[in-house]
Homo-oligomer: A and B are copies of this chain.
Amino acid sequence: MEGVIEGRRVRLLSMEGLPEGWGTRESEGVQVSLEEAAVLVERGLLEVKDGGSALDLPGFLQVCARLSPRFIPRYVVFRNFRERGYAIQPGPLDFRLYPRGSKPGEKATEAYVRALSEREPLEMREVARWLEEAGNVRKRLLLAVVDEEGDTTFYEARWTEPPRRPWRDPPSVVRAQLLPDRGIVWDEAAGKSLHESLFYGRPDRGRLVLSLVEVGHLLGQGFLELQGSNGTPLSLDQFLERAGEVEPHLREKLRLYSDLRGRGLVVRTGYKFGTHFRVYEKYPEPHSKYLAHAVAPDRPLPLGDLSRAVRLAASVRKHLLLACPQGAALRYLEITRVRP
């Protein structure tokens, strides 16, 4: 076959020998994507002409990389699936993936695939957009991350919903003192009322030490009377302003904490796992079930960080939940490594 580059695609001058499921038929003939063209060139099935002479594979890859900044990861991912016998076609995000061994049209698309380079940080609002596109047509979303050596790691991203369990309010309002980075309930009985069945705070020689998110949550719910340094009561806004200087992401963390607590789950710090929180369905259980992290929709997340977080969560057998605000709601993204 011969082809010529047109825009970001290759138009075939003949299509004898084009395998089934490749390219798309347009009124002007058959067009293949740059990724398809590169694999066809590599297999010796296609010659792409550039000003009369045929490009060799190195030359064609150079041209493609110039035409499309995301060509390299797309090409690596497309080729990876094709070599392993998957039917894969250009699609809405990057590709449509069909069940292994099936041909396009024979079975429905199984997943939308987005190819990423490990070097481009990811924004959660992008993932949210891709999930919406895939979810609207009930497809799974796969993220295929190409590392610097050309190896690909696959992740599935999906919305999930932490469970809801019955929960109780604290029996009464409790008085606490605010230190710069924690709250202290000095009255032993009051501390017990928060800790013994509700699992707030950490008992310490008769007093109860509350973290800043616990203080913020209980204060926001009206179960805390908070005293500042000179004994004056503090409102939630005053607390947020003061504690926000100590804890830069306090509002994000507090929103996540309160959402999980409002589901009747017990939430403790996730510091030892490098996430904001660890979350228990029942407490005290020996192991938490979830690791939850508050993410801002537009804060770029380096993919190396994501890789480490997913790997660590898997190694301790916990679900990793990334909590992203979407409008007024908080939505939970679960990202797991998959091996398609």
Residue ranges of A at the interface with B (Cβ–Cβ < 8 Å): 42, 57-58, 61-62, 65-66, 69, 72, 117-119, 145, 147-151, 153, 177, 179-182, 184, 186, 201-202, 204-205, 209, 211-213, 229, 246-248, 268-269, 271-275, 303-305, 307-309, 311-312, 315-316
Given contacts A57-B186, A119-B247, A150-B211, 10 further A-B contacts (CB under 8 A): A61-B179, A117-B181, A118-B271, A148-B182, A149-B268, A271-B304, A273-B311, A274-B304, A274-B307, A275-B308
The docked-state distance in angstroms from the alpha carbon of A49 to that of B312 is 50
Total identical chains: 2
The docked-state distance in angstroms from the alpha carbon of A118 to that of B268 is 15
24 A-B pairs, CB-CB below 8 angstroms? A58-B177, A66-B229, A69-B180, A72-B179, A72-B181, A72-B182, A119-B246, A119-B247, A119-B248, A148-B181, A148-B211, A148-B247, A149-B202, A149-B209, A149-B268, A150-B204, A151-B269, A272-B307, A273-B307, A274-B307, A274-B308, A274-B309, A275-B304, A305-B305
> CB within 8 A of A177: which of B62, B69, B209, B272?
B62
Q: List the 9 shortest-distance A-B pairs measured between CB atoms, nearest first.
A: A274-B308, A147-B271, A148-B211, A315-B315, A149-B269, A312-B312, A274-B304, A274-B307, A62-B229
> CB within 8 A of A179: which of B65, B145, B179, B212?
B65
- Which residue, A119, A274, A312, has most C-beta atoms of chain B within 10 A? A274
**Which residues of B are found within 8 Å of A209, using beta-carbon distances?**
149-150
Closest to A270 in B: B304
The answer to whether B202 and A150 have CB atoms under 8 Å apart is yes
- Which residue, A118, A184, A304, has most C-beta atoms of chain B within 10 A? A304
**Which residues of B are found within 8 Å of A149, using beta-carbon distances?**
201-202, 209, 211, 268-269, 271
- Which residue, A145, A180, A273, A303, has most C-beta atoms of chain B within 10 A? A180
**Which residues of B are found within 8 Å of A303, using beta-carbon distances?**
271
The docked-state distance in angstroms from the alpha carbon of A246 to that of B119 is 7
Query: Given A58-B177, A246-B119, are A274 and B305 neighbors across the interface (CB < 8 Å)?
Result: yes
**Closest CB in chain B relative to A314 CB, distance in Å:** 10
